[in-house]
Every structure is written in structure tokens, then in C-alpha cells.
Structure 1
Amino acid sequence: MDFQPIERPPNAFQQSVTPEQIQAVCHRVFGPGARVSSAVELGLGMYNTTYRVTVAGRERPVVVRFAPEPERQFISEREMMRNEYATVPHLAVIAPLMPRVLAADWSHDLIGRDYLVQTLLDGVPAPDGLRNYPRPAWTAFYRRIGEIARTVHGVRGPGFGPVAGPVYDTWSRAVIASLRDIAADLESVGLDAADLRSAAALAAEHSAVLDEITEPRLLTGDLWTVNVMIADGAPEPTITGVLDFDRTLWGDPAADWPVRLAAAKQDERLAFWEAYGERDRGPAASWRSSLYEVRHLGGVRLELHRHGRTDDVRDSYARVAAKLAELA
């Protein structure tokens, strides 16, 4: 087997598996005669460990994704791969853009980690492919992102919270639980989480504002350039696939990651709103958006800590403080 892992420090969050484990997975999924000829680790993602695997006799490579070991997962990120798997039936509205799941295994009897085997999407990662186009041409890309987000947000759910649960009867309860989980995770690694605790208290105090959201909608969780594939060599950036829906939840579309990033800069991404539609800019919606930003920043702080970016972790406190001032 041509095995090409990404070399990382021994204490890195993402950990490779062994060639023997990849071969064992393919024996289970494709049969005892399946022989892996190559396994190349893909480095765009920052959570799961992902390989492009070529099995002799199969026309196309497949993607094999391994979740972190259970003991390495934060409370706020528990069993995200299982959450993604539970979301697949709800993503039928964008099925042509999605990889197909060939196998899912939560048994841990081959390796002590959840894993998924999926089809390989056509195209090149958008962060690489977009560089081949002048920036004004990127508007087509962001317009399409807006269309996809709007389509996913049209899917209605049974309650609020992660698709795989726990599901809450009100949006305020889901938001408060999320803020408290992130705070607990920050404290578990020795970081101050008083600001996230304060945000949770404000959410409880102003629960009526959150509970103006009465209809749970499907949120993508992480839809943006890093999780998008585009056609190689097309006249304009053309999306061929979207992936990694492990952070999906039922809630307020305004709390979704693509809405946050589309609003972050006044540049080509303004085309997002042409397809998605105008945002609610009323006082209640603005208050909720500030709270959602605190939640996003808390999750980002965890990610920064995980990857050793101590200066950025420190800077996150001032950004959260500014948003808390808007909520008071």
C-alpha cells in the first residue's frame, strides 16, 4: 500500500490511523478480497482524519473519515460524525451535491473510533480553485452558497438542538445548553469561560427574545469555502459538491455559520444575500445575532486552543467582551 499520512507532532489533536486499520476497514466494507493500493491523507479539515483511498478494481477512489477517539472529543462536539450521519435524510434537498455514504461503523471493534466511508466528490477544494479566478468572478460562487444555505434552511425539524440530539422544545433551551457546554469545555482545558457563562445567563434572562424563533430549521453548521468543491477549469467558479455536515442542528437560520461569514465582509460575498434574501435587522434579531456571535467565538476559541494558537485564543476574549456589551 502507498500510505501517505500527514506528519504531525505526537501531541497533535488529529491522529493518523495505520495502513493495517485502513485495510481492515476496506475488507469490512468491500469484502475480504478488497486490496487497498493507496491511502492519502487529506489535510483541509481540522477535526476528523480523512483519507482518499484507492481500492484495486474499483473505478473511483473513496473517502474514509475517522472521528477523534471518544476521550478526545469535547462535550460540545460529542459524536459529531454520528450527528452528520443522522442528518443525511434531511439533506435530500441537496442530494446531488452530497457524497453518498457507503458505510458507517460505530462499533469500535476494528479501531476505537467512529468512521464513515463515502464517495469521492468531483472537483477541487474551493480554497484552492478560487485562486484561479479574478475576485469579481467569485460572486457566482457566493451566490450559489446563498442558494444552498437557503435550500437547507427550508427544511423543518422536530425540535431545537443537534440533529442527533439532545433536542429541546424551545430555542432558548438549546442555545443556553450550547453555551454552557462550550464553557465547560473551555474550563476543562484550563481556559477562563466566565464570558461564556455570562452569555448563558443573559440568554436565560432574555429567553423570550430567543423564543420568538418557534419553527426549527436545519442549519448547515459549517458551510463555507473549506467544505465546498468546485469544478476544475470551468468558466466561472461552479460548485460541484458540499461536504462535512457534522455540525448540523435545528434552530434559527440566522445562527448558521454561512450567515455569519457572509455578513463578515463587504466584498464579493455580498452576492450571498442576492440568492439567500435579506436579513432581519430589527432590534430582537440584532440582539440574537450578537448572542450567536458569542457562541461562534466560544467554539472558535476551542478550535484555536486545540491547534495551539495561544495569541488568537487571548485575542478572542476582547471580541467576546465587545459582543457582551451589545447584549447588556
Structure 2
Amino acid sequence: MDFRPVERASQAFQQSVTAEEVQAVCRRVFGSDARVVSAVELGSGMYNNTYRVAVAGQERPVILRIAPEPGRQFRSERELMRNEYASLPYLAVISPLLPRVIAADWSHEVIGRDWMVQSLLDGVPAPERLGDYPRTLWPAFFRQMGAIARQVHAVRGPRFGPVTGPGYGTWSEAVVASLEDIAADLDSAGLDAADVRKVAAVAGHHHAVLDEVTEPRMTLGDFWTLNAMLHGSTPEPVITGVFDTDRTCWADPASDWTIRMAKAKTDEREAFWDSYGPLDQSAAAVWRARIYEARHLGAIRLERHRLGKADAVHESYGAMAALLAELS
């Protein structure tokens, strides 16, 4: 087997499995005689370990995604791969863009981690392909992003919270629980979580504003340029795939990471709103957006800690302080 894992420090959050473990997974999926020709780890993801695997006798390579060991997962990121798998029936509206699940295994019988084998999407990762086009054509890409987000956000759910639960009857309960989980994770990482707890307290005190959102809608949680595929040869950008949908949640669509990123800059991404439509600009919606931004900042702080970016972790406290000043 041609096995090419990403080399990482022993203390890094992501840790590769062995060539033998990749072979064992493929034998479970494709049969006891299956032989892995190559397994190349893809380094673009920051949570799961992802491999492009070629198996003898299979027409196309497949994607093998392996979750972190259970003991390494934060409370706020618990069993994300299982959450993605459970969300697929609700994502039928974009099913032509999603990879097909070939096999998923939560038993830990082969390796001590959850794993999923998926079909290989056609196209080129958007960060690698978009720059090939002149910027005058980039609005077409963001317009498609807006259309995809609008389709997903139209899907109604049974209760608020992650698809696999826990579920909440009100949006404020879900938001406060999420903030409390992030604070607990920061505690476990040895980081100061006082500001996140202050945001949770503000959200709880003003729960009526959050609870103006009464209908749970599907949100992708992490959909932006990094999780899109583009056609390799079309004269303008054409999205051919969407992947890594493990942070799906029943929520207020305005709380989605996609909306945050679409609002982040005044540039070609403004075309996103052409297809998505305008956001609610009421005083209550603006206040809720600040709570959502605080929650994003808490999650970003955890990710920066996981990646060993101490300076970026420190910077998050100033940004959170500014938000708390606006919320008070």
C-alpha cells in the first residue's frame, strides 16, 4: 500500500491511523479480500482525519473519514460524524451535491473511533479553483452559495438543537445550552470562560427575544468556501459538491456559520444575498445576531486552542469583550 499520512506532532489534536487500520476498514466495507492500493491523507480538514483511498477492483477512489478518539472530543463537538449521518434524510433538498455514504461504523470494533466511507465528489475544492477565475466571475459562485443555503434553511425540524440531540423546546434553551457547553470545554482546556458564561446569562435573561424564533430550521453549521467543490473546466464557477455537513443543527437560520461568513465582508460575496434574500434587520434580530456572533467566537476560540494558535486565542477575548459591551 502507498500510505501517505499527514505528519503531525505527537501532541496535535488530529492523529492519523495506521496503514493496517485503513486496510482493516476497507476489508469490512468491501470484503475480506479487499486490497488497498493507496491511502493519502488530505490535510485541509481540521477535525476528522480524511483519506483518499484507492481499493483494487473499485472504479473510483473513496473518501474515508475518521473521527477523533472519543476522549479527545469536546462536549460541544461530541459525535459530530453521527450527527452528519443522522442529518442526511433532512438534506435531500441538496442530495445531488452531497457525497454518498457507502458505509458508516460506530461500533469501534475495527478501530476505536467512528468512521465513514463516502463516494468521492467530482470537481476541485473551491479554495483551489476559485482563484483561477477573474474576480468579476466570483459573484456567480456566491450566488450559488446563497441558493444552497436558502434551500437548506427552508427545511423544518421537530425541535431545536443538534440533529442527534439533545433537543430543546425553545430556541433560547438551545442557545444557552450551547454556550454552557462551550464554556465547559474552555474550562477543560484551561482557558478562561467567564465571558462566554456572561453571554449565556444575558441570553437566558433576555430569552423572550430569542424565543421570537419559534420554528426550528436546518442549518449546516460550517458551510462556506472550504466545504464546496467546483467544476474543473466550466467557464464560470459551478458548485458541484458540498461536504463535511457534521455540524448540522435545528436552529434560527440567521445563526448559521454561512450567514456569518456572508456578512463578514463587502465584496463579491454580496451576491450571496441575491439568491438568499434579505435578512431581518429588526432590533430584535440585530440583538440575536450579537448573541450568535458571541457563540461563534467561543467556538472559534476552542478551535484556535486545538490548533495551538495561542495568539489567536488571546485575540478572541478582546472581540468578545466588545460584543458584551454591545449586549449590556
TM-score, normalization by structure 2: 0.99
Map 1:278-297 onto structure 2 (within 5 A): 278-297=278-297
* Corresponding position of 1:141: 141
* Corresponding position of 1:102: 102
CA deviations over 1:196-232 (Å, ceiling 9, x no partner): 0000000000000000000000001000011100011
* Corresponding position of 1:156: 156
CA deviations over 1:74-101 (Å, ceiling 9, x no partner): 0000000000000010000000000000
> Which consecutive unaligned segments of at least 5 residues does structure 2 have?
none
Equivalent AA in structure 1 for residue 258 of structure 2 = P
Map 1:1-328 onto structure 2 (within 5 A): 1-328=1-328
> Structure 1 residue runs of 4+, over 6 Å off?
none
SS in 1 for 2:53: strand
TM-superposed deviation, 1:233: 2.1
> What is the aligned residue count?
328
Q: Distance in 2 between matches of 1:129 and 1:256?
A: 25
Q: Distance in 2 between matches of 1:193 and 1:272?
A: 34
CA deviations over 1:46-86 (Å, ceiling 9, x no partner): 00000000001110000000000000000000000000000
Q: Distance in 2 between matches of 1:169 and 1:163?
A: 13
CA deviations over 1:24-66 (Å, ceiling 9, x no partner): 1110001111110000001111000000000011100000000
Identity of aligned residues (%): 66
TM-superposed deviation, 1:134: 1.3
TM-superposed deviation, 1:136: 1.8
Q: Distance in 1 between matches of 2:139 and 2:322?
A: 31
Q: Distance in 1 between matches of 2:16 and 2:308?
A: 18
Q: Distance in 2 between matches of 1:136 and 1:180?
A: 43
CA deviations over 1:258-307 (Å, ceiling 9, x no partner): 10000000000000000000011110000000000000000000000001
> Which consecutive unaligned segments of at least 5 residues does structure 1 have?
none
TM-superposed deviation, 1:324: 1.1
Equivalent AA in structure 2 for residue 89 of structure 1 = P
TM-score, normalization by structure 1: 0.99
SS in 2 for 1:136: helix
Q: Distance in 2 between matches of 1:322 and 1:82?
A: 35
Q: Distance in 2 between matches of 1:100 and 1:250?
A: 22
TM-superposed deviation, 1:323: 1.1
